[in-house]
Structure 1
């Protein structure tokens, strides 16, 4: 069963328990009234006991839809112990959200995703999606020419954040890892063997872009993180956070091709991804008391 089905089952069982308990309490009050009218003795109704179901001992009946509680006149004793009303049905507001890297992987590699144009609601081509994903990170003013009209040719860059993140995402997905966002632990990605539902992440990934040509960094319209040498205090903080949570920190260095060596025209197709290279450095926190032997 999926988690949604388990949640719906527990909600139905909780509702049935409330109905059974309310019905048992009403029956106990009815017996007390009959004893008072026929025998003249006052019976104090106990809200716990063998006849009143409790959350620890109650078990759901086989009937998927238990009968509802009949409407009866409210007595003074009923007012002291009101019957729980039926819980209103909750609308499921959860929906799937994909990052650009996840969406492009499902579209280009798995061929199991269709993206519609927001204006025409028509399926977009791979070329249109490829250009749209790269233009998201560009300054809107750069997409306009001098006459404030959309530029016919999109200026593409090798250090586009979408390309940097997708290169790393595709690299680890192709190795069989389940890749998820790691902003909760101050990293870019988390690597799972089977997914967050089955186990915790074993590795935390920090992306470190490296320019093949340093001149490309000065002319770039992007301000990529971790392109400059980071301080030891920052590295120690990130490493300690993830080591405490039993995650191994990995610095993933992504080499950005130089414009002087490769023409930017190759960025018009996903074939440009073959020009990127990845190197990994594993960071482990040294604990003298544990690593002495």
Structure 2
């Protein structure tokens, strides 16, 4: 499926300003300011100054929260986004609602308590983010995530992503029967996306601590809907009746 750029010149703009460079700039800015996020239910709130708010927007982390403060802007990060900045990029510290800093192990246990499949979802999220894909929630498309090659203002998402956890069946049980597969593929076709299934294998390791992620592996599979009209061979059939009559 061809990548769908949103405007003339968008591809050139993306190539001139790669996502890897933007994320490095964000990482540096957050480290220098000793940025801190605040746990709030199933998300993390981050107060950003003007430069950081600009970089968060360019790297497409979190959702901007409208507020009345003039000197700071607030961003709401999903758990996978916040843990990625904290654990993988090591540029964000996170505190609880009691203002006490939480170490990585405490965060890991907290996020697992809020979302049982968090280890698998985080592995899938970080797998794509470390390849410089922009990863966003996919519930509008019946998926776990959607993946963009660059900023969503420049390009449409390439993939609707389903996370398949080891031992839980195909894509957490959502693709076990033909009707599920057919419906999911029709939905992806309707929104011009390719279905990407990320199968997470724990390889015998439990999810007791985040270091176990190093032993997890990710299998990528794209699934497409077979369209008979597009799969036909050229019409090279032989006229059997005319041959027999001769």
- Give yes or no for TM over 0.5: yes
- Count of aligned positions: 164
Query: Is 1:230 the counterpart of 2:170 in the alignment?
Result: no
The answer (yes or no) to whether the contact 2:170–2:176 under 8 Å persists in 1 is no
Query: Is 1:244 the counterpart of 2:190 in the alignment?
Result: yes
Looking at structure 2, the residues matched to 208 and 285 of structure 1 have their Cα atoms a distance apart, in angstroms, of 19
Looking at structure 2, the residues matched to 127 and 199 of structure 1 have their Cα atoms a distance apart, in angstroms, of 36
* Aligned mate of 2:156, from 200, 217, 237: 200
> Which residue is equivalent to 2:111?
133
Deviation at 1:106, TM superposition (A): 0.6
* Aligned mate of 1:103, from 67, 74, 82: 82
> Which residue is equivalent to 2:212?
272
Distance 1:126 1:190, change over 3 A: same
Which aligned pairs between 1:21-60 and structure 2 lie closer than 5 A? none
Deviation at 1:95, TM superposition (A): 4.4
Looking at structure 1, the residues matched to 227 and 171 of structure 2 have their Cα atoms a distance apart, in angstroms, of 29
> Which residue is equivalent to 1:145?
none
Which aligned pairs between 1:79-118 and structure 2 lie closer than 5 A? 92-93=66-67, 95-118=74-97
Q: TM-score, normalised by structure 2?
A: 0.59
> Which residue is equivalent to 1:292?
232
> Which residue is equivalent to 1:174?
130
1:22-59: CA deviation from partner (whole Å, max 9, x where unpaired): xxxxxxxxxxxxxxxxxxxxxxxxxxxxxxxxxxxxxx
Q: Which has the higher strand share?
A: 2
Q: CA RMSD in A?
A: 2.6
Please list every run of 5 or more consecutive structure 2 residues that lacks an aligned counterpart in the other structure.
Answer: 1-64, 68-72, 234-246
Looking at structure 1, the residues matched to 172 and 142 of structure 2 have their Cα atoms a distance apart, in angstroms, of 13
Distance 1:230 1:95, change over 3 A: farther
Looking at structure 2, the residues matched to 96 and 125 of structure 1 have their Cα atoms a distance apart, in angstroms, of 21
Looking at structure 2, the residues matched to 225 and 204 of structure 1 have their Cα atoms a distance apart, in angstroms, of 12
Structure possessing the higher radius of gyration over alpha carbons:
1
Deviation at 1:196, TM superposition (A): 1.6
1:181-235: CA deviation from partner (whole Å, max 9, x where unpaired): 1000001111101122211100111111122xxxxx7xxxxx9962476111111
Bigger relative contact order (CA 8 A; separation at least 6): 2
The answer (yes or no) to whether the contact 1:185–1:241 under 8 Å persists in 2 is yes
Query: Is 1:185 the counterpart of 2:141 in the alignment?
Result: yes
SS at match of 2:221: strand
Please list every run of 5 or more consecutive structure 1 residues that lacks an aligned counterpart in the other structure.
Answer: 1-90, 138-159, 212-216, 218-222
Q: TM-score, normalised by structure 1?
A: 0.50
SS at match of 1:179: strand
Deviation at 1:165, TM superposition (A): 0.3
The answer (yes or no) to whether the contact 2:137–2:146 under 8 Å persists in 1 is yes
